[in-house]
Amino acid sequence: MTSLNVEDAIGYTWEAVGLVWLVGLVFTKRAVRSQSNGTRLFHLALAALGFSLLSQRGFRDGWLGMRFVPRLEWLAITGLGLTIAGCLFAIWARVTLGSNWSGRAEVKEGHALVTSGPYAIARHPIYAGFLLAATGTALANGEWHGVLALVVILLALMVKMSQEERLMMQTFPTAYPAYRQRVKALVPGIL
């Protein structure tokens, strides 16, 4: 597999995630409470910057385009595998969350606390999947803009996670603290 094929496969994988998200928008419930617009805009700006750093060729100039790992086919294929695994995990979580999902931190009408499937592994499995996929994409690319992208994406997800955690604690004051005790936010047994 050539590096161009790996890059194409990674692009198609991320596009598949986008398609699942677009289709899923049709099936979401109406929101009853959500994060502030300011926090939302900050999160979106960070996420847009992070994913742009990860995917745009324009960031390949200067030090951002320098390699942090050698150009080896097995590293690119490993990165592709991590990207696919992370995206599949995020899709599984998105499908499991169903109509409770939202692009912003919010509580839906008749919101249910989902703790099964990927939510038994991580409280924020969509973000865990995205971070794994972004790590794979950065590894396959092997350039510093990918590492910077990971840091920015992590910051964006931390902003959104803090808002979601606050809303879930308010909505499920007994069940959510118990769930937080059992299940880590992103990485089982660690974080």
Is the pLDDT at 59 greater than 80, yes or no? no
What's the one-letter identity of residue 165?
E
Is the pLDDT at 56 greater than 90, yes or no? no
Specify the pTM. Answer: 0.93
Q: Per mean pLDDT, which range of 14-18, 60-64, 75-79 is the poorest?
A: 60-64
Is the pLDDT at 82 greater than 80, yes or no? yes
**Residue 1's pLDDT is what?**
64
**Residue 112's pLDDT is what?**
93
Higher pLDDT: 180 or 188? It is 180
Is the pLDDT at 28 greater than 70, yes or no? yes
**Residue 189's pLDDT is what?**
80
Q: Compute the distance between CA of residue 102 and CA of residue 98 in angstroms, rounded to an integer.
A: 9
Is the pLDDT at 191 greater than 90, yes or no? no
Q: Compute the distance between CA of residue 159 and CA of residue 113 in angstroms, rounded to an integer.
A: 20
**Residue 60's pLDDT is what?**
75
CB atoms within 10 A of CB 169: 13
Q: Tell me how far the alpha carbon of residue 15 is from its chain's centroid.
A: 14
**Residue 62's pLDDT is what?**
85
Structure confidence by residue, pLDDT tens digits, 85-144: 999 999 999 999 999 999 889 999 999 999 999 999 999 999 999 999 999 999 999 999
**Residue 4's pLDDT is what?**
66
Q: Tell me how far the alpha carbon of residue 97 is from its chain's centroid.
A: 14
Is the pLDDT at 58 greater than 70, yes or no? yes
Confidence of residue 169 (pLDDT cuts 50, 70, 90): very high
Element of type H or E holding 175: helix 175-182
Ordered by where they begin, the domains of the chain are 3-20+34-182 (1.20.120.1630)
Is the pLDDT at 2 greater than 70, yes or no? no
Q: Compute the distance between CA of residue 122 and CA of residue 115 in angstroms, rounded to an integer.
A: 9
